Structure formats: C-alpha cells, structure tokens
Amino acid sequence: TPLTVINGYLEMLQDAEVPAHVHRAHEQMLAQSQRMTLLVNDLIELSRLESASMERPGEWFNIREICQQTVSQLQNYREGAVPRLVDGDAVEVEGYPDEMRTVLVNLVTNALKYGGDSEVVVRLKEIPRGLKVSVTDKGPGIPPEHLGRITERFYRVDDSRDSTTGGSGLGLAIVKHALEHVDTELNIESTPGAGSTFSFILPPYRVRS
C-alpha cells in the first residue's frame, strides 16, 4: 500500500542527524504511520472476511497445532504474562485454517494486552455440543454494560487506556465474522476484577477426533 512507501522512507531517515524537535516529529510520524498500517491491514482483513463466499470448500486441519503455534508465537508478546495451551486429545476440525489462526491470534493477543500480568490459558475441550475453544485471562475484566458492544467495529472499552495499546478496535469484529464462517459465534463471559473468557463451540459435524 502507499503506506509501505511512507514507512520505508521514515525508517530510512531514522538515522539522519537532525535537530531534536525534528527528531521528535519524525518519531511521531513513524509511530503513527505504523499504527495506520495495522489499521489498514485490519480493515482489509475485515472486508475480505465479509465478502468471502460461504460456499468455499473448507478443509480438515489440526486445531491443536494452530493453538500451539499461536501460543508459542506470542510467548514474548508481553513480559510477565505467558500464554499456555491446556488441551485434550488432538482434534481435527473442518473450516478455514488461516481464519482460525486469525481468530486465535486476536483472542490471545487481547488477553495479553488487556489481561494485566495474569496467566492466559487456551483450552480445547470436546463436549456433547462439539469442540469448545476458549481463551481465559484473569485480568480486570470488562464491565457488563460494554459486553454487548465490544464486537462492534471500532468499539473500545476505554479509549484513554487503550490508546497506549495501539489497537484498531477491529479485532473482535474480525473474530466474529470468521466464526460465522464455521457456523458458530463468540461467547464472552467476564467478571470485573476476576477476568474474562472468550469462547466458541465448533459444531459436531465440523469436528473429528
């Protein structure tokens, strides 16, 4: 995108010798253009998901592997909080592996970003209604009045706090759409002061052990 060019030049100029006030301005430009890149990428991802055909053939894949990779990839995302996977048997599910990866990366990243220094646990559990996938943190939780709205695009619980985390407010909207493609929906349970669990249940016809 055009932003790639802007980012490239801003990075190239990072080592240039300039007066302090120009240096500060340059740092701001670089930070904001990187943030804009994340926002544009999320918007592209969301519109791709919205226009994806529901008739695409899915494929069988090992969801445990994707959970494990997500957890490993995010080990160093935040000092003091480490994600781990608690799983049952290896389970195959039918759907779209890239979209499942996006779902898990978004949920685990959120748990690490907003869950304070608590442990983050990803669980896979076979239950009579299908395969339950959950991501739990023991962070500050989400006040009940926000719960119904946080999957809306651009909705963020506390802008002043969250501006430091640099999110786009699109992550959960992306998750919601991706889950619709595999016939399920996002459940959110949260207790202020005790933490949050984001989960979904993949229906039995999309699961095999």
Which of 93, 108, 114, 131 touches ligand ADP (CB under 6 A)? Answer: 114
Residue 199 near ligand ADP by CB under 6 A: no
Q: Which is nearer to ligand ADP, 26 or 132 (CB)?
A: 132
> Closest approach of Cβ 152 to ligand ADP, in Å?
8
Verify binding: residue 119, ligand ADP, rule CB under 6 A. Answer: no
DSSP-derived letter for residue 88 is -
> In terms of Cα–Cα distance, which of 50, 59, 41, 133 is closest to 98?
59
User: Binding of ligand ADP at residue 197 (CB under 6 A)?
Assistant: no
Long-range contacts of 161-167 (CB under 8 A, 24+ apart): 162/114, 165/113, 165/114, 166/35, 166/38, 167/113
When asked if residue 46 is in the footprint of ligand ADP (CB under 6 A), the reply is no
Name the one range near ligand ADP by CB under 6 A: 19-27, 74-82, 83-91, 163-171: 163-171
Could you tell me which stretch among 52-60, 74-82, 87-95, 152-160 binds ligand ADP (CB under 6 A)? Answer: 152-160
To ligand ADP, the closest distance from the beta carbon of 39 in angstroms equals: 9
SS3 content of the chain, % helix, strand, coil (to 5): 45, 20, 35
CA distances from 208 to 23, 56, 191, 203 (A): 56, 20, 33, 10
Q: List CB contacts of 141: < 8 A, sequence separation 6 or more.
A: 190, 191, 192, 193, 194, 195, 196
Q: Which residue number is nearest to ligand ADP in terms of Cβ?
A: 167
Query: Does 171 help bind ligand ADP (rule: CB under 6 A)?
Result: yes
Binding ligand ADP by CB under 6 A: which of 70, 110, 134, 184? 110
Residues 183, 206 contacting (CB under 8 angstroms): yes
**Side-chain half-sphere of 113: how many Cα atoms within 13 Å?**
18
Residues that bind ligand ADP (CB under 6 A): 106, 110-111, 114-115, 137, 139, 142, 150, 155-157, 162, 167-172, 196
